[in-house]
């Protein structure tokens, strides 16, 4: 092959070969850099969790230079309930599906505070008629200490006690909704969690009597009474 021909071929193919080599080198460097970035993120990722008063937790997560903090909602306690508590829950659930009626007090139509009054009146426990009066009537209870049977209040119209419901479990309450009637909803629903006012207890918690020793053996049975 003539020298001139060899020179021409070199001038044609050499730039292409050089470009391919450069592209391969760039891809190799990017791949290595990405791998180191992922490994670095894994190594710098830190997560810790601390308990908060009331049963919630505060999680702290750090990825690189960014710090994230998320607080969990405290769970409501669920100790054993007395027969009276269970009757109140059953009475509340018997009203599910009743239509809403402002100032109504019967199963043909009822409002939120009348529902609470009727539930407790059915078991011989008289309470005031309006939500504002019920808010002042009961004993204040911390949110993380609520029990089924406790009344829960919300600010839906500008007043701290403009709406009321009754806890039916550790996470749900029963109330008379102006749009759908008597229903059961979660306390964590955005509408109600952002309008929370407080909780009131109508029935005192059962209190155990002091244990009495009998001879060498002690009685392990607790007797409870209602206040």
pLDDT digits (tens, 9 = 90+) for 78-87: 557 889 889 9
Q: Are 164 and 151 in contact (CB under 8 A)?
A: yes
CB 144, CB 54: distance < 8 Å: yes
Q: Sorting pLDDT into bands at 50, 70 and 90, what band is 14? A: low
Angstrom distances, CA of residue 205 to CA of 92, 148, 225: 19, 11, 9
Residues 110 and 50 in one domain: no
pTM: 0.58
Same domain, 168 and 195: yes
Measured between its terminal Cα atoms, the distance across the chain in Å is 114
Catalytic residue, from 22, 32, 112, 225: name it.
112
User: Is there a single domain that holds both residue 62 and residue 140?
Assistant: no
Annotated catalytic, 22? no
Please tell me which residue, 154 or 2, carries the higher pLDDT value.
154
- Identify whether 32 is part of a domain: no
Choosing from 32, 85, 163, 225, the catalytic residue is 163
Residue 147 lies in a domain: yes
Confidence of residue 199 (pLDDT cuts 50, 70, 90): very high
CATH number, domain containing residue 152: 3.90.1720.10
Told to judge if 175 belongs to the known catalytic residues of this protein, a careful annotator would answer yes
pLDDT of residue 20: 60
Calpha distance 116→92 (Å, rounded): 8
Q: How far apart are CA 151 and CA 156, in angstroms?
A: 16
89 and 196 part of one domain: yes
What is the reported pLDDT for 217? Answer: 43
Do 100 and 177 sit in the same domain of this protein? yes
Check whether residue 64 and residue 154 sit in a common domain: no
State residue 81's pLDDT score.
Answer: 80
In tens, the pLDDT along 24-69 reads: 554 555 454 444 444 444 444 444 444 443 344 444 444 445 444 3
Residue tagged active-site, from 22, 32, 85, 175: 175
Residues 184 and 98 in one domain: yes
CA distance 102 to 97: 16
Residue 37 located in a structural domain: no
- Identify the domain containing residue 200 by its residue range: 83-207
Distance CA 15, CA 114 (A): 89
CA dist., res. 121 & res. 148, Å (int)? 17
Residues 146-170 have a mean pLDDT of 95
């Amino acid at each position: 092959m003539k020298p001139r021909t060899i020179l021409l071929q070199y001038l044609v193919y050499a730039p292409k070969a050089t470009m391919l080599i450069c592209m391969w080198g760039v891809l190799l460097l990017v791949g290595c850099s990405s791998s180191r970035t992922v490994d670095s993120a894994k190594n710098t990722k830190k997560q810790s969790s601390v308990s908060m008063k009331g049963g919630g937790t505060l999680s702290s997560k750090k990825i690189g230079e960014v710090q994230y903090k998320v607080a969990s909602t405290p769970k409501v306690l669920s100790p054993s309930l007395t027969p009276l508590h269970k009757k109140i829950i059953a009475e509340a659930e018997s009203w599910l599906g009743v239509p809403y009626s402002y100032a109504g007090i019967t199963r043909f139509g009822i409002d939120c505070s009348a529902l609470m009054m009727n539930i407790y009146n059915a078991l011989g426990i008289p309470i005031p008629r309006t939500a504002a009066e019920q808010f002042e009537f009961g004993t204040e209870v911390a949110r993380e200490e609520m029990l089924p049977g406790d009344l829960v209040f919300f600010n839906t119209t500008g007043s701290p006690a403009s709406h009321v419901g009754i806890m039916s479990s550790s996470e749900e309450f029963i109330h008379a909704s102006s749009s759908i009637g008597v229903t059961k909803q979660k306390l964590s629903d955005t509408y109600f969690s952002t309008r929370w006012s407080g909780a009131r207890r109508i029935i005192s918690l059962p209190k155990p009597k002091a244990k009495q020793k009998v001879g060498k053996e002690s009685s392990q049975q607790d007797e409870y009474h209602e206040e």
